[in-house]
Amino acid sequence: METVTATLPALKTVTIDGIAVPIEGERNLLELIRKADIDLPTFCYHSDLSVYGACRLCIVDIAGRGIQGACSTPPEPGMTVRTQTDELRRIRQISIELLLANHDQQCPTCPKSTSCQLQDVARRLGVSQVRFKSVHSPRELDRSSPSLLRDPNKCILCGDCVRFCSEIQGIGAIDFAYRGHDVAVLPAFGHDLAAGECVNCGQCAAVCPTGALTPRPEVDEVWRALHDPKKTVVAQIAPAVRVALGEEFGLPAGTSASGQIVAALKRLGFSAVYDTAFSADLTVIEEANEFLRRKATGGRLPLFTSCCPAWVKFAEQHFPELLPNLSTCKSPQQMLGAVIKDTLPAARGIAPADVVVVSIMPCTAKKFEAKRPEFAKDGRAEVDHVLTTQELARMISEAGLRFSKLKPESYDMPLGFKTGAGVIFGNSGGVSEAVLRYAAEVITGTKVASPDFHAVRGEDGVRLATVTLGDTTLKLAVVHGLKNARALADKARSGECDLDLIEVMACPGGCIGGAGQPVSHDPEARRKRTRGLYDADKNLDLHSSQENPFVTECYAKHLGEIGGKRAHELLHTHYGNRRRIGDETIRLGEGPSEAKLNVRVCVGTNCFLKGSQAVLQGLLREVDENDLHDSVAISASFCFEKCERGPTVELDGKRIQRCQPEQAIAALREQLAAGKAPQP
C-alpha cells in the first residue's frame, strides 16, 4: 500500500514571551501581543487611526533587532519577542516620569481622574516618583466651546485627538503647532476651539488618554436648578444612555438600566422623567412623511437625516448647497424639549419660566445644539441643560446613591412611552430602520411581518442598502464618521448620487459611541451597547412609531396634522450657512479705508470654489488700471454666510450674489458714476 504524506501548511507564528502566537492578519506586533492577552500599555495607539509611534510604551525586545515599537512593527513569522525585560521596564518608567514632569498633576480635581490612562499606566508600571522639574509655564484653559473643555496643561502630545479629527471626521479642527519644547495641540492660529470648524462631536475627548480634552460639564447648573424650590425640573433620556450608564457602576456594557436610571433621577429631585425615544417616534413620523412626500413629488433627494448636531454643523460649514437636502425635522432632543415647554406649564399650572428641561445625552454636540438660537422661544431655550452619560453618573455618585440597589421605576407618561423604533435611534442605522418600519406600512398599506431591516444594520462606516417596499424601491446609505459623510455629500453635490435617504451620525457606531458615554476599557463595549439597544427593541411590545398611542394622542391634542402648521412650528426648523473660519479680512487697498467705497469679496471655501478669486482679480485690475486706489478699498473676506448663492460681493453695504467678474466691475463703475463714493 502506498503511503500518502500530506504536508500541513506550517502555521506562521511569532514567539511572544515564550508562547507561539499565530499570525492571522494582524497589522502590527501590538495587535498580536494583545491577541495573546497581554495588555501592553499605549497612549498613541488607536486601532481605527493611523500608527503614530510616539508614546514609546509598547516597546518590545525583538531577538536580533533590539528594542522596537510594537505598534509600528509588522509581525513576521519566526520572530521572537519579549515584552518584559529589565531594560524595557526602565525605559517605560522613564517615559512616564518625563510625561508626568510636564503634566499638571492636579489629579483629584481633574474630570478624567480615575479614568485617566496616564494615571492608570503610571500606577501599573510602578512609577513612584518624578525626579524632574517642570519647565512649562501654565497655559490658560480654553472654555470657549459649549461642548468641550481644553486644558493644554494636561496634554501629553499623543496626537490621538488630531488624528481622529482629521482621519475619521475629515475636519482637522486641531493640529500640532510649533516645535520642540513649544509644541502644542492647537486650533488654527491658536484661537479658541469655538472660533473654528470644530463640530463639537467630542471624539477628541473620547480618545484623549488624559484630561486635556473633556466634555464640558453642566452638573453645577443642574444641581442649582434642582435645589431651587421654584423650579420644576424634568429630564429626558436618550436611547444610547440606558445601555451605557451602568458601566460606570460595574454593570457590563449593553445592560439596559432604564428602570434604575429613572429611579436615580427621581431621587436626585427630577419631577418627571421622559424618554427621548418618544420624540424619536415623533421624528420618525415627521421625517418619514417628509421623505415620502419628497419622493412622491420629485422633491430634493437624497434626504439627509438631521438628528446629529455635529453633522448638521458640518453640513452648514461645508455643504451649503445641500442644506435643502437636510431633513427639516428637529432632532429628538429638541422635539421633546419643544413639546415639554409647550405642554407642561398648562398641564401643571406653572409659569413657563419655571420649567427646566434637562436632557441626558451620550453626546457633547447636544450641548451645542441646545444653545442654538433656532431652538429658543421667547428667549427661553427648549432644552436648558444637557448632561452627558458621564455627568449623570457623577451626580448619582455625588448623591451617594447605590445604583445597583435602586428599585427600578417607570418613565412618566405620556412623554415617556416609546416603541422600539425610537429606541434603536441610538445605533447607527437605527433612524433608517425606524423610517423603513413606518414607510413600509404606508407604502404597502399593510403591517410588515417582521419589523427588522437587517440591510441597514452593521458596523461598516458606509453601508448601502436597497429596500423594496411594494412597488417602491428605496436606496439608502447609512454612514458614521464625517469623513465618510463628506464623500457621500460630495457625490450628492455633484449630482452623481442616486440615493434616496442618507443617515449620518458623526460618532463611530452612532450615538452609542458618543463622546459623552462612559470611558470604557472594554474594546467590545460599543458592540455590546449596540446589541443592548436592539435587544431593548425586541423586549418592547411595539416596534413601529405609528403604533405609539401617546404619539397619536399628542397629534390629536397638541400637534394637529402630521407635517401640518402646528407640527412645523414645534417640530421643524431650518439651518443656515456658517463660516468655518473666524471673521477675517484681507485688506487689499492702501491707507485708511473709511472714506472710500468699500468693496468686499467673499473668499470663503464655497465662494472660492465658485470663482470668487476671478471676481477679486477683475476688481483689482479695474482699480489699478483706472487708478482708483484713493477712492476704492477692496478687501477679501472670509464668508458672509450666504454660501448657496455665492460668489458674494458686498459693494457699499449692498450684496450682489452669484456675482461674476463683469457684473462686479459694472456695479463698481455704476456706483462711482452715481457719485456716491466719497471724494478723496
Q: Which residues bind other proteins (CB under 8 A)?
A: 166, 171-179, 186-190, 196-197, 581, 584-590, 603-605, 608, 613, 616-617, 620, 623-625, 627, 629, 634, 636, 638
Beta carbon nearer to other proteins, 166 or 305: 166
Q: Are residues 246 and 257 in contact, defined by beta-carbon separation less than 8 angstroms?
A: yes
Beta carbon nearer to other proteins, 221 or 321: 321
Shortest distance, CB of residue 388 to other proteins, whole angstroms?
A: 25
Shortest distance, CB of residue 177 to other proteins, whole angstroms?
A: 5
Q: Are residues 222 and 230 in contact, defined by beta-carbon separation less than 8 angstroms?
A: no
Beta carbon nearer to other proteins, 173 or 554: 173
Beta carbon nearer to other proteins, 630 or 644: 630
Task: Kindly report each contact of residues 256-260 with a partner whose C-beta sits within 8 Å and lies 24 or more positions away, as own/partner.
Answer: 256/532, 256/535, 256/536, 257/403, 258/408, 258/411, 258/536, 259/406, 259/407, 259/408, 259/409, 259/410, 260/403, 260/404, 260/406, 260/408
Three-state DSSP at 183 gives: coil
The CA–CA distances, whole Å, from 79 to 9, 72, 205 equal: 18, 15, 36
Beta carbon nearer to other proteins, 172 or 458: 172
CA separation for the pair 667, 656 (Å, rounded) = 9
Q: Which among 362, 361, 355 has a CA at the least distance from the CA of 338? A: 355
Report the DSSP beta bridge partners of residue 477: 464, 502
Q: Are residues 546 and 276 in contact, defined by beta-carbon separation less than 8 angstroms?
A: no
Beta carbon nearer to other proteins, 138 or 445: 138
Amino acid letter, residue 294: R
Three-state DSSP at 282 gives: helix
Buried b (16+ CB within 10 A) or exposed e, 270-306: bbbbbbbbbbbbbbbbbbbbbbbebbeeeeebbbbbb
Shortest distance, CB of residue 186 to other proteins, whole angstroms?
A: 7
The CA–CA distances, whole Å, from 55 to 52, 98, 132 equal: 8, 11, 18
Amino acid letter, residue 191: H
With a CB cutoff of 8 Å and minimum separation 6, the contacts of 58 are 30, 33, 40, 41, 42, 45, 69, 70, 71
Residue 223, number of CB atoms within 10 A of its CB: 15
Shortest distance, CB of residue 332 to other proteins, whole angstroms?
A: 31
Shortest distance, CB of residue 193 to other proteins, whole angstroms?
A: 10
Q: Are residues 15 and 79 in contact, defined by beta-carbon separation less than 8 angstroms?
A: yes
CA dihedral 318, 323, 328, 332 (to 10 degrees): -10
Beta carbon nearer to other proteins, 471 or 625: 625
Active site residues: 287, 290, 307, 327, 366, 369, 374, 511
Buried b (16+ CB within 10 A) or exposed e, 376-411: eeeeebbbbbbbbbbbbbbbbeeeebebeebeebeb
Shortest distance, CB of residue 172 to other proteins, whole angstroms?
A: 3
Shortest distance, CB of residue 628 to other proteins, whole angstroms?
A: 11
Amino acid letter, residue 62: I
Beta carbon nearer to other proteins, 207 or 588: 588
Shortest distance, CB of residue 625 to other proteins, whole angstroms?
A: 7
In the block, residue with C-alpha cell 467590545: 524
Amino acid letter, residue 207: V
Please state whether beta strands 80-82 and 13-16 pair in parallel, antiparallel, or not at all (unpaired): parallel
Three-state DSSP at 501 gives: strand
Burial of 678 (0-12, 13-18, 19+ CB in 10 A): exposed
Q: What is the chain's length?
A: 680
Q: Are residues 516 and 363 in contact, defined by beta-carbon separation less than 8 angstroms?
A: yes
Report the DSSP beta bridge partners of residue 394: none
Shortest distance, CB of residue 617 to other proteins, whole angstroms?
A: 7
Shortest distance, CB of residue 333 to other proteins, whole angstroms?
A: 29
Beta carbon nearer to other proteins, 134 or 613: 613
Beta carbon nearer to other proteins, 186 or 288: 186
Grid coordinates belonging to 284: 420618525
Q: Are residues 614 and 663 in contact, defined by beta-carbon separation less than 8 angstroms?
A: no
The CA–CA distances, whole Å, from 624 to 617, 631, 665, 675, 678 equal: 10, 11, 12, 19, 18
Beta carbon nearer to other proteins, 132 or 176: 176
Shortest distance, CB of residue 169 to other proteins, whole angstroms?
A: 11
